[in-house]
């Protein structure tokens, strides 16, 4: 089974974290002692005893989470061994990218601790207390959140509000000047957001207000020896794996003012995994798909459009180069007005403009995945045609291409 190590960001801290781990495993205690020494002492007491208000300060939170993350990683690798020693990817949310670098051997622990202490301090100093804010928007598509931020910024001249974390398809965090964030919250609710939660943070992270941090952090990172990671690290800024040591510092600097593309990062790792169970795909390449056979995001998308768990597959052979295919989604029917009925009679390929907006959006959502590309301009091919005078139920197949290092799954 493919393994990726993923490390948390700010907000996961708690007084007492790492204490039980340090008492149970000498490896964890050694990591925490090394981290404590890198900061000149005081970290262990803050971790184990608090106070919580001091632990929540960004300059303390960031190195604290790094220390506990690496302690847990060292214990897991020693105790489990095997495939955990050679993961397919490392990744981390915001400051978690530093944890990924340390875990992969690209950055020394003590240097990373000092860099995060400086990073946190610079972030706190970049915007005066009370001027910045962040909020989590729930139940609204990321594109709608970005549009709401743009509208709010236009109504707040000279102020900034931008998407900061794309945490899930249903949750996007925004950051910027407090009045602009408040206005963006109102705009998001007008667009149908289910909830909007202000976040208790000390600064508006991952937005252009953090630009003063970059030159100061660049001086700190320039003094750190960077090595090639033992496995690709999926960068927050690009959502793409990187193994080039020369790019690491620039990616970390860009991360300060750019949004965390976490959804794309997770999808990128999932879609790069191999098919885990080959027994159903031998010989003639036929079998039934199970959840364990496919990347998690693919399984979710198949279930979302109603493809049965035991739908027969054709042509999926692990270890072979992927070929162009077509994902047929049986049972996905659309009743309603088809705007260009005349194009459906001749048997030509159905284009996006032929469809009602909700159907077009659903199709684009399925295809909006890293590593997938539509074959040419073709979006949908009708399996059953509509007549000129009235719209009949239509079943659609989604054509796609998959890079050769990933997987191939035509569903029939």
What are the residue numbers of the active site?
94, 206
349's tokens: 């390929």
Bridge partners (DSSP) listed for residue 198: 135
The DSSP code for 339 is T
Distance of CA 337 to the CA centre of its chain: 36
Query: Which residues are within 8 A (CB) of 10 and not within 5 positions of it... i.e. 6 or more apart?
Result: 58, 61, 62, 65, 94, 95, 201, 205
> b vs e for 77-112, b when ≥16 Cβ sit within 10 Å of the residue's Cβ?
beeeeeeeeebbbbbbbbbbbbbbbbbbebbbbebb
Give the full edge-to-edge strand order of the sheet including 195-198: 161-168, 171-177, 132-138, 195-198
- Listing DSSP states for 197-243 in one string gives EE---SS--SSGGGTTHHHHHHHHHHTS-----SS-EE-TTTSSEE-
- Listing DSSP states for 84-152 in one string gives GGS-SEEEESTTHHHHHHHHTTSS-HHHHHHHHHHHHHHHHHHS-TTTEEEEEEESS-HHHHHHHHHHH
**Residue 393 CB coordination number (10 Å):** 11
């Amino acid at each position: 089974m493919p393994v990726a190590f993923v490390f948390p960001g700010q907000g996961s801290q708690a007084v007492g974290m790492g204490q039980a781990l340090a008492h149970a495993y000498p490896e964890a205690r050694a990591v925490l002692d090394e981290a404590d020494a890198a900061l000149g002492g005081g970290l262990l007491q803050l971790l184990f005893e608090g106070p919580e208000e001091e632990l929540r300060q960004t300059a303390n939170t960031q190195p604290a989470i790094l220390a506990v993350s690496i302690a847990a990683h060292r214990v897991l690798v020693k105790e489990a061994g095997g495939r955990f020693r050679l993961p397919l990817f490392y990744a981390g949310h915001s400051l978690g990218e530093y944890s990924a670098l340390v875990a992969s051997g690209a950055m020394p622990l003590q240097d990373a601790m000092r860099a995060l202490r400086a990073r946190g301090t610079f972030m706190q100093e970049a915007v005066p207390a009370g001027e910045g804010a962040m909020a989590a928007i729930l139940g609204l598509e990321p594109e709608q959140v970005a549009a709401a931020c743009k509208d709010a910024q236009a109504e707040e001249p000279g102020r900034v509000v931008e998407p900061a974390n794309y945490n899930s398809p249903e949750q996007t965090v925004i950051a910027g000047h407090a009045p602009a964030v408040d206005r963006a919250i109102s705009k998001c609710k007008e667009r149908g957001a289910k909830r909007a939660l202000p976040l208790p943070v000390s600064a508006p992270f991952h937005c252009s207000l953090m630009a003063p941090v970059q030159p100061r952090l660049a001086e700190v990172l320039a003094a750190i020896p960077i090595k090639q990671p033992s496995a690709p690290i999926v960068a927050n800024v690009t959502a793409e794996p990187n193994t080039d040591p020369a790019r690491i510092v620039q990616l970390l600097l860009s991360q300060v003012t750019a949004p965390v593309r976490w959804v794309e990062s997770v999808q990128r790792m999932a879609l790069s995994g191999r098919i885990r169970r080959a027994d159903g795909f031998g010989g003639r390449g036929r079998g039934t798909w199970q959840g364990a056979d496919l990347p998690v995001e693919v399984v979710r998308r198949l279930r979302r459009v109603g493809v049965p768990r035991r739908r027969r597959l054709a042509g999926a052979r692990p270890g072979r180069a992927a070929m162009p295919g077509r994902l047929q989604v049986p049972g996905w029917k659309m009743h309603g007005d088809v705007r260009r009925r005349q194009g459906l009679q001749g048997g030509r390929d159905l284009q996006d403009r032929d469809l009602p907006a909700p159907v077009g959006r659903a199709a684009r959502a399925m295809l909006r995945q890293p590593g997938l590309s539509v074959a040419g301009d073709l979006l949908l091919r009708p399996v059953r045609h509509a007549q000129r005078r009235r719209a009949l139920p239509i079943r659609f197949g989604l054509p796609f291409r998959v890079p050769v290092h990933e997987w191939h799954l035509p569903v029939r």
